[in-house]
Amino acid sequence: MNNKLKAKDFITVGLFTALLFVVEFACGMLGFIHPYIVAAYVIIIPLVGGIPMMLFYSKTEKFGMLTTMSILLAIIMFVTGMGWLGAPLIIASGIVADLIAKGGNYKSAKKTILSNGVFSLWVCANYFPVIVSASSYRKDLLKGGYSAEYCDNLFRAINSKTAIVLIIACFIFGCLGAYLGEAVVKKHFAKAGIV
Amino acid sequence: MDACVCADKTQLHLDPRTKLFMVFVVSTVVLVTATTPFTVFLRTLITFVPLFLLILEGRALSALGFALMYGVAMFLMHFFISQNSSGIIMALLVGYCGIVVQFMPAMICAWYMVKTTKIGEFMSAMQKMHVPDGITISLAVIMRFFPTIKEEYGAIRDAMRMRGIMLGGGNPGKIIEFRMIPLLFSCVSIGDELSCAAITRGLGANVKRTSTVEIRLTSMDYLVMAGFLLIAIVFIMAKYTEIL
């Protein structure tokens, strides 16, 4: 089997990136209910995104697929206004996830779950600007018309102290999402003969 | 599959590279929160240019929708919400308006680019900028897929409504499963068809691809780019020197 990504694989990568972004966007819209939900992205997005990700893992199985996807996610995040500060983190998690999955030859269930856990860290990258520039960001938000209550809640949930918790939670729920996604993929797609 | 039926009808048809540049500038500017009236003005200005261009391309209705949404959020943000607002309704409003004001400008600009660029043009522009083929192909697929996902999702919702399934019985797992699985099924098969179609047309072959659409930077393109660059520079200067 040829292990280089071909045009067909890039189309698959694009397709799943679009799906993942739709998941992210749909979950992101919930963020306006309460700032705590913004922090809970690390739980919601990896869990829901696990389903398309697992299908993606079983469909491509070539080195570079996750790296490409992370580059695309970084581009989309930038274009939709989340900034470029998180981009190196997104791409780094993509490369590491790719290497882990390659270690299991893209077949090993354990390595795939681990790999998705690492890949899920791209969600955390979106908090990066909030954490790095916390004080000036807060001032800007207040001047920009946010209420103090919202800011307090936002920064109580996301700051340099909770960052570690968020990252770990993200990783765990990424693994959990992968596990659930694997089950869902088996239940529906293996039966239908798609994977 | 209504992605690119417009274009060519109008005089002003910008080069995809100009649109990319616009997206780049707008995304950079919205990163920085506008605090003074002047920077708010610049932000609004930079939002209304793509809206104006959308109208020129014959998409006045969606432009109006965006303008209304953005306008209402801006209005609420600046006249109703203050540092001291509290309470549940206010909190919801702050969250909603915050998201709209923060992300709408970039969204509108990206929407404008996606809706008014033909895939062929986009590919040829990316090739001219020497972007690796893999990234170009994937990006083109992403651009093309958003309308498809929306369409398929609508079909799934209709089918669910027809069978009287409202939310999946209130079980969050089911709510997601009932929507996600059919969506994945249809998207995967559409993706497979798409790659067959693309490969028969020579995508991924080891030659330099030619394009039937000729893209060229016109004086209008340079004008728009210069304008956006100017706004960006003034914005960043105003922000960091706080003169204005």
pLDDT at position B11: 55
- pLDDT score at B93: 77
> What's the pLDDT at B82?
64
pLDDT at A185 (0 to 100): 87
DSSP for B140-170 reads HHHHHHHHHHHHHHHHHHHHHHHTT-SSSTT
Considering only CB atoms, which chain A residues are within 8 Å of B199? 7-8
Minimum mean pLDDT range among A48-62, A155-169, B75-89, B183-197: B75-89
Cβ distance A5 to B185 less than 8 Å, yes or no, reads: no
Amino acid found at B31: L
Which pLDDT band holds residue B7 (cuts at 50, 70, 90)? very low
Share of residues in chain A with pLDDT > 90 (%):
27
pLDDT score, position A2: 59
pLDDT tens by residue, A60-101: 888 889 999 999 999 888 887 777 778 888 999 999 999 999
CA pair distance B94, B47, nearest whole angstrom: 20
Nearest to A7 among B32, B105, B198 (CB): B198
Helical ranges in B34-131 per DSSP H: 37-56, 60-79, 88-116, 119-128
The interface predicted TM-score (ipTM) is 0.83
Are B139 and A79 a contacting pair at CB < 8 A? no
Q: What is the CA radius of gyration of chain B?
A: 21
| Top-confidence range, A122-126, B108-112, B166-170 | B108-112
Collapsing DSSP to helix, strand or coil, A147 comes out as: coil
Residue pair A123/A45 in contact by the 8 Å Cβ criterion: yes
- Contact at CB, B146 and A32, closer than 8 angstroms: no
Cβ contact, residue pair B83, A142, below 8 Å: yes
Domain ranges of chain A: 7-190
Q: Which residue of A has its CA nearest to B73?
A: A145
Q: What is the four-CA torsion angle of A46, A50, A52, A58, rounded to 10 degrees? A: 140
What is the CB-side half-sphere exposure of residue B117 using CA atoms within 13 A? Answer: 28
A residues 34-53 lying closer than 8 A (beta carbon) to B: 34-35, 48, 51-52
User: In A, which residues are within 8 Å of B139 by CB distance?
Assistant: 14, 72, 75
Tracing tokens 């990504």 back to the chain, one arrives at A5
Cβ of B21: how many Cβ atoms within 10 Å?
17
Please check whether residue A63 touches B, CB under 8 A: no
Read off the tokens for A138: 């807060």
Report CA-CA distances (Å) from A101 to A111, A168, B5, B99, B161.
6, 19, 41, 35, 40
Distance CA(A97)–CA(A155), nearest Å, equals 29
Query: Mean pLDDT: which of A55-69, B85-99, B100-114 is highest?
Result: A55-69
**pLDDT over threshold 60, residue B3:** no
Q: Which of A27-36, A109-118, B77-86 has the highest mean pLDDT?
A: A109-118
Q: What is the pLDDT of residues B11-53, one digit of tens each?
A: 567 888 999 998 888 888 877 766 677 877 888 888 888 888 8
**Res B127 pLDDT > 80:** yes
- Please give the Cα distance from B32 to A141 (Å, whole number): 10
- Stretch 9-48 of chain B: residues touching chain A, C-beta under 8 Å: 23, 27, 30-35
Q: Rounded to a whole number, what is the distance in Å from the CA of B92 to chain A's nearest CA?
A: 5
B33, A137: Cβ pair inside 8 Å?
yes
Tell which of B77, B100, B138 to mutate to test the A interface (max A CBs under 10 Å): B138
Higher pLDDT, B208 or B234: B234
Tens of pLDDT, residue by residue over A114-141, are 999 999 988 887 777 677 767 777 777 7
Say what the pLDDT of residue B86 is. Answer: 65
Q: Do A80 and B82 touch (CB under 8 A)?
A: no
Mutate to test the interface with B, among A146, A179, A195 (most CBs of B within 10 A): A146
Q: What is the pLDDT of residue B10?
A: 47
B73-92 exposure pattern, b = at least 16 Cβ within 10 A, e = fewer:
bbebbeeebeeebeeeebbe
**Mean pLDDT (chain B, rounded):** 81
pLDDT at B242: 62
